[in-house]
Each structure stands twice: as structure tokens, then as C-alpha cells.
Chain A
């Protein structure tokens, strides 16, 4: 760098100014329609419940306290808020199970696509992206048609003689789980494919030469190398699962709430806006932590490899 440092900083400043200037319309739009209102929710989570819904002064941490604990109205004893914790717990285990199912199905699928002949790959990949871009409601509706009592699954099982009464899957946690796994599977396959596509298949030949079994190759060679793709896929499935709203509402039937539905309830019938706000922020914090873990992990991979 032979340029004098003052000329350099002036140029950098000019570039920065036009960079910001060109981005301003987008930033204003996002502040008005997405990021700004989040700050209002944060503020609401620190206020008290209004008498007829809404929020009121004074500032308090009550809403945050209420997520985890409840105070007995008679003797003032504090106990864990079992109902809230149960909903959080359901959200977490359903999301983890969804992540696991999509991984078990998604890894072989991504592997299958990546090992097709070069010219077929784009087509197989396109077949994964179509459901990904298909309206979430259409897909939820489609899976509902399969698992309902007179649906494809039950009629097939009855025709095969495996069961004589239809299985009640719809409006249970199982329905939500099946629905989420169905809806989020492409989100797992795409990053896994991207990682496997870069995988050097000659490593497998080397492994065979050294008498490794296929199972051992999978565990000791493939999985460690495609790990960034696994982490990306798991995060990409886990985050939207945790905040799912449509799938549990439609398939879970309203009583098997996840956090997303519980938040809606607070702004609707329950009329507890501060609690709704603090729950929203809690959900956001969990998602941000998950993202942070992901960014850290991928940065470490970048350094190692």
C-alpha cells in the first residue's frame, strides 16, 4: 500500500458513505416493517398488564418472571409455572425430534443426489426445492390428508390388515411431529447436499483399500467431513420448528400448543400482552443463541479446514 494513509481513509470514507446511502431505502423499510417493531415488543415485555388487555405502567419484570413461575393468589407462595414449562418442553422435544427425523431421512437423500451422474443432479435437486418453495399451508394440508382417520395412511393399513381401527394421529403431538418433519425435510437436505457435493469420493477408495467397512467409513470419514453441512441443516430445521405456528395449529388441533401458539393466545383470548411479549423475546433469544452456536461452529470449521 503505497497510497498515503489520509487519501486512503478519505476514499474509504467516501465508499462507506455511498454504501450506506444506497442501503438506506432497504434499511428504512426493514426498520419500519420488521426490526423496529421488535423493540416495541421488548419494551412491552417490561411493562405491566393493562386492565382490558394492552399494557400499562409501571415498568416491571413480572412478565419475565411469569414465564417460569407463578405466585399463588392466596398465600403468595412461588411455584414453577407448570403449564408454561410443559409448552416449552413440548416445543423443544418436538423440534429436536423433527431435527432427528429429518437428519435420518435427509442424509441418505442428500447422499443419493450427490452420487447421481452429474447431469441428473440438477433435476433431483430441483425435485427437493419444489416442495421447499411450495406454500406451507398446501404442504400441511397435504400431510393432513394422509394422516387423517379416513386418509391414505389409515386406509392402506386397514386394507393390509395391519390394523382394524383407524389410528388417531391427527390432533395429537404425533401429527405435529410428522407435519414438521414433512415440511422441513428440504431444509435439511439442501445444506447436507452442499457439503456432500464438496466431499472428495477418493477418500472412500482410500478407506476401502485400508479395509474399512462401509459403516466405519460413514462414521469415521464421511460424517466428520460433512459436519458443517450437518450443523447447518440441523440449525435450519431446529429454528423454524421451535417457532412453528401453522403446523401445530392445523395438525395439533389447537390444544397441543407450541410456543408460537401460546404467544398468539396471550395477544388474543388470554389478554396478557406483557407475557406474550416476554415469551416472544425468550423465543428470539433461544433462536439467537442457536444461530450463534452455528456461526461459531462454522467459523471453527473454516479455520480447521
Chain B
């Protein structure tokens, strides 16, 4: 017979076992992907020793290289644009008190979070398709516009949270000391807001990098991003090259997320 466990009010039968199962279920598949990206064999179930073969293979693939550059370019533009407009909107919606139509602005900003991605994707396909036909422009502008738009709420939410938690007396003190509104903003509000802005930009970057559905519908021919390239690969026999790409992307996400948590945690 096992020793009876010490009494704990918070223990519920089976809960810990299910929780551990859930964590294992969440991580085991991802860890398998990472491990097999270092496999020397082309098998996804047989281990043939450690090798960086598939990383070299992926990097030597021109399509992958171009897709990587394209993904990073789009994500950078989307993060920049969405963060700038989201910062302005956050200042507009938190610093001006209540005003008519504020709820409508909230709703519109959060709209990309509420509408199913496939619906947005289809609507952009129709509208951008018409513009493409009318103007003949085929560039990356469509993807950049679409990504910037759906990244806005992700950039906006951390910035607004930071603004709402900020001490207004510092700004009032600056105004008392004859700072112009612009000076007070540049020297007081902006530096204090910076962690929120950085966090928002990082989230926007990750979200843009992750997007599959909207990109798949909006892109012109030959405009694959890493995500849509991978989606295309599922139609073929998969090689560990996909594991290597996934692992690299995972590592990048992890770095950005850790940055995000370190930044937002300082506040507390």
C-alpha cells in the first residue's frame, strides 16, 4: 500500500494526470519534428544519426530562400505599419476619455479577430483580384496591405494595455513645467510606452509570419511565403526538409516570444 498523500484542498481526482497528459500531447509532436530535422536519413520514423543535412538542403533550395526573404520582408512591413497606426489609435482611444463612436472604433480595430480567416481571405481575393485586373499591378503590395491590416489588433492590444496602466501624473507634471504637448509626448509618454510598442510589434511580426490562409488567397503566382510553401509541400511526399524549415521557424518564434515576455513582465 502506498503512503496516503498529504491532504490538499486543491487536489482533484485525476486532474494532475490529465494535465500532464495534455502537456505531453502538446509537446511530443513538436519535439518529434525538431528531433527528426537533425536526422541523417530521409525517414521520419527511423533514426540514422545526427546531421545538419536537411538544413543545408533547405537553405540550398532557391524557392525556400526566396520564400524566407519574402516572409521576413512582409512581416517587417506589416509589423512596422500596424504598430505605427495601432499606437496612434491607442493614444486616440485611451487618452481622450470617452467620446462618441469609441466603441465603434474598438469594434473595427478588433474586427480581424472576429471574422473567420477564410471569409476575410475570400473577400480580399475578390477585391484585390479586381484591382489587379484594373491596374495590372502584381507586386507584394497586396500581401503587405492585407498583413498590415490583420496585424493591427495584435499590435493595438498590448499598446493599449500599457497606456491604460500608465501613470498620467507624469504627463501632467510635464505640462505644468511648460512642456508643449509634443514635447511631453516625445520625452515622457513615448519612452514610457516603448515596452508596449515593442511587444505589439513582436506579436504583429509573429502573426504575419504565421499566416497561411489569407496569404494563400491573396498572393500572386510565385509569391510563396514560407507558410504557403509548406502548405504546398503537403501535397507531395514529405522530406525532413519541412522539419528543418519548421524547426528554424519555431526557433525564431521562440526568440520573439521570449523577448515579448521579458518586455511585458518588467511592468509587473
Contacts and interface: CB of A to CB of B under 8 A. Distances in A.
Interface of A: 12, 15-16, 18-23, 25-27, 29-38, 40-41, 44, 104-109, 111-113, 115, 122, 126-131, 133-139, 141-146, 150-152, 155, 182, 185-186, 189, 201, 204-205, 208, 214-215, 217-218, 239-240, 242-243, 245-246, 250, 259-260, 263-264, 267, 273, 276-277, 280-281, 283-284, 287-288, 291
B213 A133 contact: no
9 contacts: A19-B96, A37-B127, A38-B123, A41-B126, A127-B23, A129-B257, A137-B246, A182-B25, A284-B115
B19 A19 contact: no
A107 B15 CA distance: 8
Interface of B: 9-23, 25-30, 32-33, 36, 44-45, 81-82, 84-86, 88-89, 91-93, 96-97, 99-102, 105, 108-109, 111-112, 114-127, 145-146, 148-150, 152, 156, 206, 209-210, 212-213, 217, 227, 230-231, 234, 238, 242, 246, 249-250, 253-254, 257, 261, 265
A129 B238 CA distance: 28
A interface secondary structure, majority: helix
Nearest to B203: A133
Contacts of A127: 23, 26-27
Given A105-B22, A108-B19, A287-B114, A134 B33 contact: no
A240 B20 CA distance: 25
A215 B15 CA distance: 11
Contacts of B33: 138, 141-142, 145
A106 B231 contact: no
B101 A151 contact: no
A22 B91 contact: yes
Nearest to B155: A26
A299 to B, nearest CB: 14
Contact of A15 (B17, B99, B111): B99
Contacts of A263: 118-119, 122
Q: Which 6 A-B pairs have the closest CB atoms?
A: A243-B116, A33-B149, A22-B92, A16-B99, A112-B19, A142-B29
B105 A27 contact: yes
A214 B13 contact: yes
Contacts of B105: 19-20, 23, 27
Contact of B89 (A26, A240, A284): A26
A242 B84 CA distance: 32
A109 B24 CA distance: 11
B45 A250 contact: no
A271 B116 CA distance: 21
A106 B22 contact: yes
A260 B148 contact: no
A3 B265 CA distance: 41
Given A27-B108, A133-B257, A204-B9, A146 B29 contact: yes
Contact of B99 (A12, A126, A250): A12
Contacts of A106: 22
